Amino acid sequence: MASEAPQFEPKIVAFVCNWCTYTGADLAGTSRLQMAPNVRVVRLPCTGRIDPLFIVKAFERGADGVIVSGCHPADCHYTAGNYHARRRFAIFRDLLDFMGVDVRRITFSWVSASEGGKWRDVVNDTTARVKELGPFTEYQGLSDPWPPAPPPTGEGASSSQALGTP
Amino acid sequence: MSRIGVLVCHCGENIGRTVDCAKVAHALGELPGVAHAADYKYMCSDPGQLLIKQAIAEKKLDGVVVAACSPRMHEKTFRRACASAGMNSFLCEMANIREHCSWIHEDRERATEKAIALARAIVEKVKRNQPLSPIHIPIERRALVIGGGIAGIQAALDVADGGGQVVLVEKEPSIGGHMSQLSETFPTLDCSQCILTPRMVEAYQHPNIKLLAYSEVESVSGYIGNFEVKVRRKARGVDETRCNGCGECQKACPSKKIPSEFEQGLGKRTAIYVPFPQAVPNIPVIDRANCALFKGRAKGAKKQACGLCKDACGRQAVDFDQQDSFVTEKVGAIVVATGYQLYTIGKAQPSEKLKGYGEYGYGKIPDVIDGLQFERLASASGPTGGKILRPSDGKEPKKIVFLQCIGSRDPAKGIEYCSKICCMYVAKHTMLYRHKVHDGKAYVFYMDVRAGGKGYEEFARRAIEEEGAIYLRGRVSKLERAGEKIKVYGFDTLSGRPMVIDAEMVVLATAMRPQPGIETLAQKLSVSYDGHGFINEAHPKLRPVETNTAGVFVAGACQAPRDIPDSVSMASGAASKVLGLFSHEELERDPTVAVVDEAGCAGCFHCERVCPYGAVERKDVKNREGVVLKVVASVNKGVCQGCGTCQATCPSKKVELQGFTDEQMFAVISAL
């Protein structure tokens, strides 16, 4: 490859359940399966806990892609959480278009605790797809940069947590 | 401002090789609210944990983030360390920079950058963590054991001997399971009945065991320590309290030609029957599908078609009008030991994936039988009195071909796993056969001989080297009826020759599958199962007898193909887990449960509808005069398992999952 401008490296946020996909991703680690470093995993108890607003928030905070993954149907640790998630996202997909998010930026998948290899494929495929789509700029400027600027010293330093600080 | 401590672990070289740990610690130290940041070679070691405790004391930390391995690995370790330094353990969390970072990436710069992001997100979460305290719940010191095979019997006896009370539920009329059908057992060739029946009687007579035979679990509610189980007692048609097992009713029954399930269809039984003479309890059951009286009733006949068994009973125990009844049992723990069935290759298959083996003519050629049928032929109490005779004509076969791996290790037909016991029982069958038919020839078509176990390899070798079984490595393409014989078309891959054997009997070592209906039972218990229906254990290596539902344990062949020693060990393991649970006064549970903000709850009860556990209850909010102002949702902490589906569903966001609140999760997302 000739020298080009530095390649676009997308930021992808993965929302996964604790019991299947998180464990599957752990297995991928234990098996030393190499994969794209673009995906950052957020652990939740169950896909049922994943609020569609999490996805919106991720895009707002600069994510270029999102993965949602949990237990296979009938395998949910909580019996039915993944079914609720599935219904929720079946409806949410249609909203994405309305919100200006290309549905290809989101991967929904089932990865079980024994599917380390599948997790690697989900990570790599999503990364490759989002790279092709380019950066997600539609929501740029909607939120403040992170980390937030430290609050002005003196009167502004609010909250009871300030107790004990010098 | 929070005072968070961040501790970055090198894990020897495991993390340090690809992640610049010092840089991670430095970057995290710059974050607002982080009062301490350090890195160390092994955080989980004693000196590492000491570093955490010292930091908590010296820097007055109000939260700790350990950036190291997976929380599934060491979260407990670090939470315990924090608790011993006086911090609430739920203010400690882990960032996974090993399994999710250093082990899966090579680019040091990008891995370091990712590790910083992962740890930063957890720092933001911990800033918003609330101190939580474990939930205390009382324990009912009774166990339910589902399945009365050898695993269930062992588990029940062990729990009962340990002082716990047991309810043993068996769906068949008698306990004993498949082991009671076996003739002799490998690798010692001791008689199965002789070692099993005393255990069956012991379980029946044990003062701490309540046996509910011919019963099935109808529904399960509750949680660890406090399950409530409804059991359906199927109508036997015989009053258990009156029957003394004399057997006069069976002698009187005119329907004598019903294929016996216990004899695998090779023997006959009456319509009112006990499955086998040593049955426990020795109380007959009326098979309503085959009883003349019930058949008559089903057709709407006005006159009673039969009733001879009732007339024959001297104790008035036969009761044609008995109905299914239900009992409710309160238990603190459940052991699932429902065992296996054989892949019924001759019948219609339950799923399209299991295509069956039409080419072997099972069910069409009478002298093609399966392993359990051979056990019945070889059993002294079997239909032939222990003589190996052909089902078709009752002649002694002089040439038997055994086929291994029928259904097992064959992804094309749906089952890719190894059934584990077949290599051993086929070797045993060849021996039993040769002991009974001295001039007989036993051929075995095998893929590999897998004889892992104490004395197993020696046993298999003995079959080949001393007992004259002829082992041929290869598969059989089809079986064909040729007069009285069966032509076996196979291929010996070691000599590279096709083989045709004129066999007089063929025995198929069919695959082990979980019992039918296991999925329904698993759903009642909220335990997970794999693609084949085997119950999933909580951890394949370290938690083999626990399931993912607290308080539900698993033993025997319902978890994977198991032989008797394995099943018994698992059962004892499960029993020791149950007794361990019963040794506590009360239980502590993870407080990851949902909490409703009653002031804001609008009472739409969407949460009630989506809760998989029925943990959401309705609660009246009253004023001082006791007038109900509104009805709100309320979560029963004992029942809630903490999936959080309610929170994602709540339109007004007034139910929060402790430890995974919206505030926490949005902070995590924002910081990534």
Pairing of strands B92-96, B63-68: parallel
Element (H, E) at A12: strand A12-17
**Per-residue model confidence (pLDDT) at position A161:** 42
Disruptive mutation site among A33, A38, A46 for chain B (greatest number of B CBs within 10 Å): A46
> What domain range includes position A85?
12-150
Average pLDDT over residues B175-201: 95
Return the pLDDT at A150.
Answer: 53
Q: How far is A43 from chain B (nearest CA, A)?
A: 9
Q: Which of B118, B612, B648 sits opposite A78 (nearest CB)?
A: B612
Could you tell me which residues are beta bridge partners of residue B497? B492
CATH number, domain of A50, equals 3.40.50
Q: In the predicted model, is pLDDT for residue B232 greater than 90?
A: yes
- Measured CA to CA in angstroms, residue B522 lies from B336, B342, B494, B519, B525 at distances of 9, 19, 44, 5, 5
pLDDT in the model for residue A3: 53
Query: Could you give the CA distance from residue A165 to residue B643 in angstroms, rounded to a whole number?
Result: 36
Cβ contact B99–A49 (<8 Å): no
Asked if B566 and B592 touch (Cβ cutoff 8 Å), the reply is no
Beta bridge partners of B40: B9
How many residue contacts between A and B have a Cβ separation below 8 Å? Answer: 153
- pLDDT value for A5: 63
Q: Is A28's CB within 8 Å of B99's CB?
A: yes
What whole-number distance in Å separates Cα of residue B659 and Cα of residue A66? Answer: 23
Smallest Cβ distance to A50: which of B548, B648, B670? Answer: B648
B476 SS3 class: strand
Quote the pLDDT of residue B208: 97
B539 or B472, which is more confident? B472
Residue A84: its pLDDT value, please?
92
Residues of B in contact with A42 (CB under 8 A): 121, 665, 668-669, 672
Contact A71, A19 (CB under 8 A): yes
Tell me the shortest Cα–Cα distance from A84 to chain B, in angstroms.
7
Residue bearing the bigger pLDDT, A34 or B525: A34
Question: Among A29, A58, A162, whose Cβ lies nearest the Cβ of B104?
Answer: A29
**pLDDT tens profile B190-199:** 999 999 999 9
Predicted confidence at residue A149, as pLDDT, reads 53
Q: What is the pLDDT of residue A162?
A: 38
Comparing B290-304, B414-428, B657-671, the range with the smallest average pLDDT is B290-304
pLDDT at B137: 84
Give the number of other Cβ atoms within 10 Å of residue B621's Cβ.
14
Q: What percent of chain B has pLDDT over 90?
A: 85
Mean pLDDT of B287-302: 90
Contacts 24+ apart (CB under 8 A), A58-61: A58/A13, A58/B669, A58/B672, A59/A101, A59/A105, A59/A136, A59/A139, A60/A139, A60/A142, A60/A143, A61/A143, A61/A146, A61/B669, A61/B670, A61/B672
Of B300-309, B625-634, B653-662, the poorest mean pLDDT is in B300-309
Query: Nearest Cβ partner of B72 from A26, A74, A146?
Result: A26
Whole-angstrom distance, CA of residue B478 vs CA of residue B489: 6
Would you call B668 and A42 a contact, using CB atoms and an 8 Å cutoff? Answer: yes
Q: How far apart are CA A64 and CA A140, in angstroms?
A: 11
Contact B641 A81 (CB under 8 A): no
Helix runs in B508-661, H state only? 518-525, 564-582, 606-610, 645-649
Predicted confidence band of residue A146 (pLDDT cuts 50, 70, 90): low
CA A165 to chain B, closest CA, distance in angstroms equals: 7
Are B610 and A85 contacting, i.e. CB atoms less than 8 angstroms apart? no
Minimal CA–CA distance to B217: which of B497, B491, B527?
Answer: B527
Q: What are phi and psi of A78, to 5 degrees?
A: -100, 25
**What is the residue whose two structure tokens read 């589906």?**
B645
* pLDDT tens readout for residues B234-253: 999 999 999 999 999 999 99
Q: Residue A166: pLDDT above 50? A: no
Q: What is the mean pLDDT of residues B98-121?
A: 95
Cβ <8 Å between B523 and A79? yes
> What residue type is assigned to position B174 of the chain?
S
In whole angstroms, what is the distance from residue B315 CA to residue B242 CA?
6
- Nearest residue in A to B94, CA atom: A43
Residue A155: is its pLDDT beyond 70? no
Q: What is the pLDDT of residue B255?
A: 93
Residue A45 predicted with pLDDT over 50 = yes
User: What's the rounded Cα separation, in Å, for the pair B187 and B197?
Assistant: 19
**How many Å is the Cα radius of gyration of chain B?**
31
Nearest CB to A48 within list B101, B106, B644: B644
Instruction: Measure the N-to-C terminal CA separation of chain A; round to a whole number of Å.
Output: 55
pLDDT over 70 (residue A4): no
Q: Which of A58, A80, A161 sits opposite B1 (nearest CB)?
A: A161
Chain A residue numbers touching B67 (CB-CB < 8 A): none
Do B1 and A19 lie within an 8 Å CB cutoff?
Answer: no
How much of chain A exceeds pLDDT 90, in percent? Answer: 56
Residue-wise pLDDT for B492-537, tens only, equals 999 999 999 999 999 999 999 999 999 899 888 878 788 889 998 8
Collect all residues with Cβ–Cβ distance below 8 Å to B90 and sequence separation of at least 6: B79, B129, B130, B131, B132, B591, B659
Residue A156 has pLDDT above 60, yes or no: no
pLDDT band for B304, please (50, 70, 90 cuts). Answer: confident
A-chain residues within 8 Å CB-CB of B107? 37
List of chain B residues whose C-beta atoms are within 8 Å of the C-beta of residue A61 = 669-670, 672
A78/B643 Cβ within 8 A: yes
CA A60 to chain B, closest CA, distance in angstroms equals 9
Domain assignment of residue A91, yes or no: yes
B588-610 mean pLDDT:
91
Q: Tell me whether residue A53 is in a domain.
A: yes
Residues of chain B positioned with their CB less than 8 A from the CB of A88: 648
Residues of B with CB below 8 A from A52's CB?
648
Predicted confidence (pLDDT) at residue A60 exceeds the cutoff of 80? yes
Q: What is the mean pLDDT of residues B169-184?
A: 96
| Model confidence at B310: pLDDT above 70 | yes
Name every chain B residue with its beta carbon within 8 A of the beta carbon of A40: 114, 117-118, 121, 672
Residues of A in contact with B62 (CB under 8 A): 161, 164
Rounded to a whole number of angstroms, the distance from the CA of A89 to the nearest CA of chain B is: 12
- Tell me the nearest-neighbour CA distance from B85 into chain A, angstroms: 18
B645 and A47 Cβ atoms separated by less than 8 Å: no
**Residue A85: enclosing H or E segment and its boundaries?**
helix A81-98
What pLDDT, on a 0 to 100 scale, did the predictor assign at position B30? 93
Quick check: B72 pLDDT over 90? no
The answer to whether the CB atoms of A54 and B666 lie below 8 A apart is yes
> How high is the ipTM of this complex?
0.86
Which segments of B583-672 does DSSP mark as H helices, in order? 606-610, 645-649, 662-671
Q: Cα separation of B445 and B509, whole Å?
A: 10
Residue A159 inside a domain? The answer is: no
Whether residue A94 is contained in a domain is answered as: yes
A-chain residue closest to B4, CA distance: A161
Which H or E run includes B39?
strand B34-40
Give how far the C-alpha of residue B293 lies from the chain's centroid of Cα atoms, to the nearest Å: 39
pLDDT value at residue B363: 86
Q: Which residues contact B542 (CB under 8 A, 6 or more apart)?
A: none
Of B145, B146, B157, B192, the residue nearest B564 (C-alpha): B192
CA distance A51 to chain B (A): 5
- Average pLDDT over chain A reads 84
Q: Say which of A45, A78, A164 has its CB closest to residue B660.
A: A45
Which residue is closest to A149 within chain B, CA to CA? B32
The SS3 call for residue B338 is coil
Let me know if B21 is exposed, middle or buried by CB neighbors in 10 A (0-12, 13-18, 19+): buried
Which whole number is the average pLDDT over B336-351?
A: 85
Q: How far is A108 from chain B (nearest CA, A)?
A: 17
SS3 content of chain A, % helix, strand, coil (to 5): 40, 15, 50
Using the predicted structure, report yes or no on whether residue A157 has a pLDDT greater than 70.
no
Considering chain B, what is the average pLDDT of its residues? 93
Residues of B in contact with A25 (CB under 8 A): 99-100
Domain membership of residue A165 (yes or no) is no
What are φ and ψ of residue B399, in 5° steps? -140, 115
In this structure, which amino acid lies at residue B513?
R
Q: Does the beta-carbon distance from A165 to B3 stay under 8 Å?
A: yes
Residue A115 lies in a domain: yes
B106 to A34: CB separation less than 8 angstroms, yes or no: yes
Q: Are the Cβ atoms of B648 and A22 closer than 8 angstroms?
A: no
Domains of chain B are: 4-127 (3.40.50), 142-234+327-339+515-586 (3.50.50.60), 248-323 (no CATH), 341-513 (3.50.50.60), 594-671 (3.30.70.20)
- Check: CB of residue B475 under 8 Å from CB of residue B495: no
> pLDDT-based confidence at B81, cuts 50/70/90?
very high
> Is residue A80 situated within a structural domain?
yes
Most B CBs within 10 Å: which of A21, A84, A86, A87, as the mutation test of the B interface?
A84
Q: CA of A3 to nearest chain B CA: how many angstroms apart? A: 19
Please count the structural domains in chain A.
1
CB B148 within 8 A of CB B168: yes
Q: Which residue of A has its CA nearest to B528?
A: A75
**CA closest to B592 among chain A residues:** A45
CA-angle at A50, arms to B657 and A118, nearest 5°: 125
Residue A160 belongs to a domain: no
Q: How far is CA B416 from CA B405, B463, B512, in A?
A: 10, 27, 11
Average pLDDT over every residue of A85-114: 90
Look at A1-5, B103-107, B307-311, B321-325 and tell me which has the smallest mean pLDDT: A1-5
Q: Closest chain A residue to B122 measured between Cα atoms?
A: A42
Query: Is A163's pLDDT higher than 60?
Result: no
- Distance from B424 to chain A by nearest Cα, in Å? 29
Amino acid identity for residue B56 in this structure: I
Among A33, A40, A85, whose Cβ lies nearest the Cβ of B117?
Answer: A40
A159 pLDDT above the threshold of 50: no
A35–chain B nearest CA distance, Å? 6
Cα–Cα distance, B486 to B501 (Å, whole number)? 8
